[in-house]
Structure 1
């Protein structure tokens, strides 16, 4: 996949995740109690991998931007009547970003 395709996938994922984050959650979608935290970790892990693969600039800036994006989502959810801002969701976002950074770092060291 070329850098341009990674960038397109990254931007698309950012938009899709933001839209999904602001939609009402239908009843009965939760299978287990921490499901939403796992979803946050996985979403931000994927965003982190795509962001780093997109080579948008320095990795620290990309990861910091994703943390700010996670905070923005929580603020936006807090402004709706059907969602709520949750600091634990932001922590899950940060864990996902950190896992992506570690994964890329380990992968880069193994390919050198």
Structure 2
């Protein structure tokens, strides 16, 4: 509960930090990336789920616009990847969108289960 409250309070800083990490990792040449267990699409799903979750939990005024912005940014990253020696894969975009949607649904579920906790200081 404390983590949810803190994430909701510091949603903007969490989101900017995660977006920075995603962008830096996505635009690094492949030879510089560490080996991480799990499949590539799962990494995309997790990264974008973590990116969207604080926004979906806080639900600022334009949260749906922010979700679409993240989708377009991920598409832009896919377009830029060949410029840094990586390949683009449009299935990554699908995994990113799935992660974004998962976070929105998870946040809605949390809002229904813990309405009094999350509605404080809205």
TM-score under structure 2 normalisation?
0.76
Runs of 4+ with deviation above 4 angstroms = none
**1:13 equivalenced with 2:18 (yes/no):** yes
Number of aligned residue pairs: 109
* CA 25–111 in structure 1, closer or farther in 2 if over 3 Å, else same: same
Counterpart position of 2:3: none
State the alpha-carbon separation in 1 of the partners of residues 76 and 44 from structure 2: 14
TM-score normalised to the size of structure 1?
Answer: 0.82
Does the CA-based 8 Å contact 2:7-2:14 persist in structure 1?
Answer: no
- CA RMSD between the two structures: 2.2
Structure 2 unmatched runs, 5+ = 1-5, 116-122
Structure 1: gaps of 5 or more residues:
none
Determine if contact 1:52/1:62 at 8 Å carries over to the other structure.
Answer: no
Which 10-residue stretch deviates more, 61-70 or 23-32? 23-32
